[in-house]
Structure 1
Amino acid sequence: MSRLDAPAPAPLRFRKMHGLGNDFVVIDARSGDAAAMTPALARALGDRRRGVGFDQLAMLSDAPGADVAVAYWNADGSRAAACGNATRCVAALMLAEGLGPDLRIEVAGRGVLEARRREDGLIEVDMGAPATGWRDVPLSEAADALALPLPGNPAALSMGNPHCVHFVADLAAVDWRARGAEVETHPLFPERTNVQFAQVIDRGHVRARVWERGVGPTLASGSSACAIAVAGALRGLTDRRVAVELEGGTLEIDWRADGHVLMAGPVADVFTGEIAPEFLAALA
């Protein structure tokens, strides 16, 4: 059968959500009838002019021993091992289905994360423990991960994905977009990295901007907020409980005594839709 004779694929249903402007396409493949995700399809859906547009795509599937499994894709078609705001959005969907009140979400590359809705209505996710060893970030060579040999001596750590946190005196004076693009692909980061620029307002409040690996500038990033809080505490700049004020709003971070990082904030359910069969067929 030729490509022209092949039956058109079925429409692909999706949901658009965001956490503080960090936006996601969520595809529910638990029924088994969703199209298989590929880098090309992720890139096409992530195109903000020709597709739907997103920072990350979340593909849901069944998970023995958890309420749901989720795999993340970046807008450039690469895989993302962790996405805190998207995990909070997935948690909100599961709670709306009547699951909970405590959820177990299996994240590809990160393990099972626990989530719940707090009494104040915010969705909270236990993002697990950070890793600060240079091999764990990972870095391409041995280095002091808390004071990298890069301009500004940023700190590197992993929240399941790599982060490079710059503490600056005046966020408004930093060309963080240009610098973020440079640092993301620096040879010191063999898997590329998320890049943060943070100004400490006081020990419980940090203002930040984020360049996200595989995406670029983003209004918010949950794992980045966690990385900023951990790096700030390790450097003695902040307490272990801190509000991270991002361009899209504020996330509450609590690096607990047991080593786990809790991240809480609001989510928004925007709309549902279908990707046309013709769009999918063009990618086949």
Structure 2
Amino acid sequence: MHGAGNDFIVLNGIEQDLSDITRDQWKSMAHRQFGIGADQILLVEKATRPDADFRYRIFNADGGEVEQCGNGSRCFVRFVLDQGLSSKNPLRVEVAHAVLTLNAKIDGQVEVNMGAPIFEPALIPFNPEGLASLQEFHEMLYALALNAPAQHDDWVGVLSMGNPHAVQVVADVDSAPVLEEGPAIESHPAFPNRVNAGYMQVINRNEIKLRVFERGAGETLACGTGACAAVVSGIRRALLDSPVTVHTRGGDLHIAWDGVIDDVAQPVMMTGPATTVFEGELEI
């Protein structure tokens, strides 16, 4: 399946036991030459908590398990409904640290309540000690100082959408050094669990272009949590107004966020496509 070009292997872990699959086996499945090929692998399982209908786990192309995947959540709900695993809509789905509400629409789009963004450094997790910083409206920006002194546009806003993101504004996303800088940002020592590196070009107050270098996967054609993080950061920097259309290389996502009300961050709503490409069987 894919969500705006961000592609996934989606596995039914309810009707078969996949608990013994190793990291190397996940990595082999995701390999584009020797396996099926995917940015991430999604494993559908029974819920472990009473307020959820299902649980899903996410494995990156490097075989490592991660907390959250926005495009994957849309594919998840489409898979569950199309496979007849549930007829409920909307669905409540358990991920690593939260329960998401997913609503499949009749036009083929899926709306996801992605939960509230997290700004507390320790919870992202992010250690800003020793980094230069400045405040732009409501957003604190940091200079990661990779190989050269950061220019103003190289400063990043840092937040979590269930997974960590570092978002910077660039003049032209097509010429941004995503592949050159992305690996260094991903593994920067300020992020103990690594980080997704987002490059955002503001077109107008309701429209951006976005590229994301995802931890454990490299640059993908779209990143749902990255789109949410970019819009939140842009709104906090007073560059954007909700709702925002996010143009990725794989398609468009639509993000809405009401900001922080009475000191409480509001949930981010994401709408986008979820498409099945093919079904098959794999022997392990």
Given the two structures, how large is their TM-score scaled by the length of structure 2? Answer: 0.87
Q: Take 2:242 and 2:171, find their aligned partners in 1: how far apart are those partners? A: 20
Whole-angstrom distance in 2 between the partners of 1:206 and 1:217: 17
Distance 1:94 1:275 in 2: 19
Partner of 2:57: 71
The one of 131, 140, 145 equivalent to 1:146 is: 140
Q: What is the correspondence of 1:3-152 to structure 2 with a 5 Å cutoff? A: 17-34=1-18, 36-63=20-47, 64-65=49-50, 66-96=52-82, 97=84, 98-107=86-95, 109-142=96-129, 146-150=140-144, 151=150, 152=154
**RMSD of aligned Cα (Å):** 1.6
What letter matches 1:213 in structure 2? R
Provide the secondary structure at the position in 1 that maps to 2:32: coil
Which of 256, 272, 280 in structure 2 is aligned with 1:273? 280
> Residues 94 and 201 of structure 1: is their aligned pair in 2 closer, same or farther, counting only changes over 3 Å?
same
Shift of 1:110: 2.6
Contact 1:136–1:157 (8 Å) recurs in 2: no
Please list the CA deviations of residues 185-224 of structure 1 after superposition, one character each: whole Å capped at 9, or x if unmatched. Answer: 1111111100110100000000011101100010001000
Larger radius of gyration: 1
Matches within 5 A, 1:98-247: 98-107=86-95, 109-142=96-129, 146-150=140-144, 151=150, 152-247=154-249
Distance in structure 1 (CA, Å) of the matches to 2:18 and 2:119: 38
After TM superposition, the score normalised by the length of structure 1 is 0.87
Amino acid at match of 2:140: L
SS at 2:27 equivalent: helix
Shift of 1:159: 0.5
What CA deviation, in whole Å up to 9, does each residue of 1:157-205 have, x standing for no partner? 0001110101011223322111111111111111110011010000000
Contact 1:256–1:262 (Cα < 8 Å) also in 2: no
Shift of 1:35: 5.5
Is there any run of 5+ residues in structure 1 with no aligned partner, and where? 1-16
Per-residue deviation, 1:273: 1.2
How far apart, in 1, do the equivalents of 2:65 and 2:106 lie?
A: 33
2:78 is matched by which residue type in structure 1? A
Whether the aligned pair in 1 keeps the contact of 2:213 and 2:220 (CA below 8 Å) is yes
Show the counterpart of 1:6.
none
Q: Deviations over 1:229-274 (max 9, x none)?
A: 1000000000121011111011000113560001110111011111
Q: Which amino acid aligns with 1:105?
A: V
Q: Answer with 165-174 or 78-87: which moved more.
A: 165-174
Deviation larger for 58-67 or 21-30? 58-67
Q: 1:35 to 1:79 in 2, by over 3 A?
A: closer
Q: 2:262 aligns to what?
A: none
Which residue is equivalent to 1:14? Answer: none
Kept in 1, the 8 Å contact 2:108–2:274? The answer is no
Counterparts in 2 of 1:159 and 1:103: CA distance versus 1, 3 Å? same
- Separation in 1, partners of 2:87, 2:169: 40
Identity, % of aligned positions: 38
Change (3 A) 1:275 1:120: closer
Name the counterpart of 1:252: 254
Kept after mapping to 2: 8 A contact 1:207/1:245: yes
State the 1:119 CA deviation. Answer: 4.8
Of residues 180-189 and 29-38 in structure 1, the stretch that sits farther from structure 2 once superposed is 29-38
1:13 maps to none
SS at match of 2:33: coil
Q: Distance in 1 between matches of 2:70 and 2:87?
A: 19
Q: Secondary structure at the match of 2:101?
A: strand
Q: How far apart are the structure 1 equivalents of 2:174 and 2:58? A: 31
Structure 2: segments with no counterpart, 5+ residues: 134-138, 145-149, 260-264
Q: Greater shift after overlay, 151-160 or 88-97?
A: 88-97
Q: Distance in 1 between matches of 2:174 and 2:277?
A: 31
Indicate if the aligned counterparts of 1:146 and 1:231 stay in contact, CA closer than 8 A.
Answer: no
